[in-house]
Amino acid sequence: MSAGIFHLINPYYSFSGFVVGLLVGMTGVGGGSLMTPLLILLFKFHPSTAVGTDLLYASITKSGGTLVHGLRKTIDWRITGRLAMGSVPATALTILLLAHFGKNSTAASGIITFVLGCVLMLTALVLLYRTRLVAYCSAHLPPVTERKICNLTIFTGALLGVMVSISSVGAGAIGVTVLLILYPKIPTVRLVGSDIAHAVPLTLIAGVGHWFLGDINWHLLLSLLVGSIPGIMLGSNYVVRVPDRLLRQIMAVTLVLVSARLLGI
């Protein structure tokens, strides 16, 4: 049995999963920002297959992060629920639209690649300027009511649902940045925990939707998990030894280059 499972594992995919897991553990940037472009540009997977497989991969890996944050009581379930109120229906609608227009068509492939490139560029900008952006919004935006904050959180969830369903990217760096602006009085660790908890149902629903569309490569998924799980654990243990600012700058430059390649710039 074990020999049969080993036969299904591709060492190149597992090594890629390990490297991405290592970087995710060290920077906290979502794996989709790295994994999906890697699968498309290096291993030449169809964009819909890369996105669908990465979504299920993300739901499995982020379940572990949610468990840790839950045990540490660093999840604000009110925020997670608000995000899910927007993301769940938006995700379902996006999957239905992909099914209607044909996921394997040239147009659909082009849309996925374009959205992925744009979201990666936005993620890179967020990594570079998050602190300045949050500080600017805190200083210049007028106070808003709790009801408006709730509505804006639901709207953010809807936008994340669309972006993640199409590109598998956006729930990490972008989601946390918006939460930092909307909830400045809540500790960052609770906002990060809430965002990770929200990413589990979001990526799971989107991943299952892509599964029904036939976009999941199970051999690829298994190979990625074999490499990424130890990579994340190792990266998380060594993150304190590498300057955070340097890591984020390297990640941002990498994402800009990948985005430019996808967009044909």
Domain ranges of the chain: 11-263
Q: Which two tokens stand for residue 166?
A: 């199409």
Q: Is pLDDT above 80 for 139?
A: yes
Local confidence band at 248 (pLDDT 50, 70, 90 cut-offs) = confident
Q: How confident is the model at residue 20 (pLDDT cuts 50, 70, 90)?
A: confident
What pLDDT is attached to residue 262?
87
Rounded to two decimals, the pTM is 0.86
pLDDT greater at residue 98 or residue 150: 150
Q: How far is Cα 209 from Cα 261, in angstroms, rounded to an integer?
A: 28
pLDDT digits (tens, 9 = 90+) for 207-246: 999 999 888 999 999 999 998 888 877 776 665 555 667 7
Least confident of 1-15, 43-57, 86-100, 151-165: 1-15
Give 1's pLDDT tier (boundaries 50, 70, 90): very low
Give the tens place of pLDDT for each residue, 147-204. Answer: 999 999 999 999 999 999 999 887 777 888 899 999 998 998 888 889 888 988 999 9
Judge whether residue 80 has pLDDT over 70.
yes
Per the structure block, which two tokens stand in for 110?
A: 């082009």
The residue count for the chain: 265
Report residue 174 as tokens: 């972008």
Q: At what angle do helices 218-238 and 11-27 cross, to 10 degrees?
A: 40
At residue 89, what is the residue type?
Answer: P
pLDDT in tens, 28-73: 666 678 888 989 988 999 888 999 999 998 888 788 778 877 888 8
Helices (H) and strands (E) in the chain, counts: 11, 0
pLDDT of residue 93: 95
